[in-house]
């Protein structure tokens, strides 16, 4: 596991998430049943007006934290906990209902920022993806050998991407995304696929990003991956931040909670969750707006008029 003390706690912040709330309005699963119970006139009215009953899903509720240079932040939580939503918010692909995210540079989200074309070969997509991330044609061409080696797709790199499995595509996207040396890298389950050799190469690549004062966010359902790869971890549950701390501690608690859920021990799971909530240090993020230079004009001084020679009548 990456040692937490490798990260300077006073290092400069790269990402600040300030009281972020995300809500979605979605059709209710029991709306159809309620419609069947109403009279035909009410059903026809809803069908015409299109006002089917909807519910508000709180994907994220009051999330605040600051990520710093040199950190690799793992994000764990069960399905529907808000992990991928949080990455999309940080990447700027969605706007929160409340709160805001500030980033030192443009975050790169694997699988989205690289505009890949299924009909093109992997090799051609390397150049295309690098160009889409802002590299010059010369830089994109120079990056091809390194990306090929990191992806480790062999001769498949010359085949159309539409022939790739989801795992092969994820590996290629990861390799392309890291070719631009992004300062802030967001990874959503991209490392869950691939062999041991790819895992070793990808972890070495992420370590290199951290050492160059970058910040990496990694979403994974596997707590062990977070424990082994990250310096810090954030545990989300139903959109709420449960715990934020050293990766080893957070991953261990999450694993115990997930085990209790799997073994149908709700009381034990609730105890673990409540204890984590109670021990979490509340994070308050305050962002100072940069002061813009102001023009000071005295209210009591009128703009100076052009000087005029007094008229003494002599013309």
Please report, for residues 9, 15, 72, 80, 305, the alpha-carbon distance to residue 68 in angstroms, rounded to integers and kept in the order given. 8, 7, 9, 26, 55
Least confident of 45-59, 167-181, 217-231, 255-269: 45-59
In this structure, what are the phi and psi dihedrals at residue 266, rounded to the nearest 5 degrees? -60, -35
The burial of 37, by beta-carbon neighbours within 10 Å (0-12 exposed, 13-18 middle, 19 or more buried), is given as: exposed
Please report, for residues 15, 249, 268, 275, the alpha-carbon distance to residue 87 in angstroms, rounded to integers and kept in the order given. 12, 22, 30, 26
State the DSSP code for 110. Answer: T
Q: Are 253 and 272 in contact (CB under 8 A)?
A: yes
Strand partners, 20: 63
Strands (DSSP E) along 28-97, which ranges?
A: 54-68, 72-76
Which are the contacts of 113, defined by CB distance < 8 A and separation ≥ 6?
Answer: 91, 132, 133, 177
Strands (DSSP E) along the chain, which ranges?
A: 13-27, 54-68, 72-76, 98-103, 108-109, 184-188, 215-219, 232-237, 240-246
Please report, for residues 13, 107, 249, 304, the alpha-carbon distance to residue 234 in angstroms, rounded to integers and kept in the order given. 17, 18, 10, 61
Within 10 angstroms of residue 214's Cβ, the number of other Cβ atoms is 21
Query: What pLDDT is attached to residue 290?
Result: 57
Query: What pLDDT is attached to residue 314?
Result: 44
Query: What pLDDT is attached to residue 5?
Result: 44
Pick the residue with more confidence: 244 or 292?
244
DSSP 206-274: HHHHHHTT-EEEEE-S-HHHHHHH-SEEEEEETTEEEEEEEHHHHHHHHHHHHHHHHTT-HHHHHHHHH
Tokens 């709160």: give the residue.
99
Tokens 């790169």: give the residue.
108
Pick the residue with more confidence: 270 or 43?
270
Pick the residue with more confidence: 66 or 48?
66
Mean pLDDT calculated for residue range 294-306: 41
277: which 2 tokens? 């909530």
Q: CA 61, CA 128: separation in Å to the nearest integer?
A: 37
Percent of the chain surpassing pLDDT 90:
45
Confidence category of residue 50, pLDDT binned at 50, 70, 90:
low
Least confident of 138-147, 210-219, 267-276: 210-219
Query: What pLDDT is attached to residue 298?
Result: 35
């Amino acid at each position: 596991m990456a040692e937490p003390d490798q990260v300077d706690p006073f290092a400069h912040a790269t990402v600040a998430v300030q009281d972020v709330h995300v809500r979605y309005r979605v059709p209710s699963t029991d709306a159809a049943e309620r419609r069947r119970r109403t009279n035909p006139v009410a059903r026809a009215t809803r069908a015409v007006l299109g006002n089917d009953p909807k519910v508000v899903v709180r994907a994220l509720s009051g999330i605040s934290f600051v990520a710093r240079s040199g950190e690799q932040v793992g994000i764990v939580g069960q399905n529907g906990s808000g992990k991928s939503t949080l990455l999309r918010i940080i990447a700027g692909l969605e706007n929160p209902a409340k709160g805001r995210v500030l980033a030192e540079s443009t975050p790169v989200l694997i699988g989205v920022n690289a505009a890949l074309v299924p009909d093109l070969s992997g090799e051609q997509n390397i150049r295309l993806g690098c160009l889409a991330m802002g590299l010059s044609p010369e830089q994109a061409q120079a990056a091809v050998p390194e990306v090929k080696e990191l992806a480790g797709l062999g001769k498949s790199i010359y085949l159309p991407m539409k022939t790739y499995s989801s795992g092969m595509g994820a590996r290629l996207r990861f390799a392309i995304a890291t070719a631009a040396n992004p300062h802030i890298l967001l990874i959503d389950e991209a490392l869950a696929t691939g062999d041991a050799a790819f895992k070793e190469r990808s972890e070495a690549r992420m370590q290199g990003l951290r050492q160059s004062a970058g910040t990496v966010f990694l979403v994974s359902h596997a707590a062990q991956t977070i424990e082994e790869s990250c310096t810090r971890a954030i545990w989300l549950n139903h959109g709420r931040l449960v715990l934020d701390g050293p990766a080893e501690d957070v991953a261990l608690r999450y694993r115990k909670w997930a085990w209790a859920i799997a073994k149908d021990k709700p009381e034990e799971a609730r105890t673990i969750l409540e204890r984590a909530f109670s021990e979490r240090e509340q994070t308050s993020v305050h962002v100072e707006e940069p002061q813009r230079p102001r023009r000071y004009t005295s209210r009591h001084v009128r703009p100076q008029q052009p000087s005029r020679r007094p008229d003494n009548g002599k013309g």
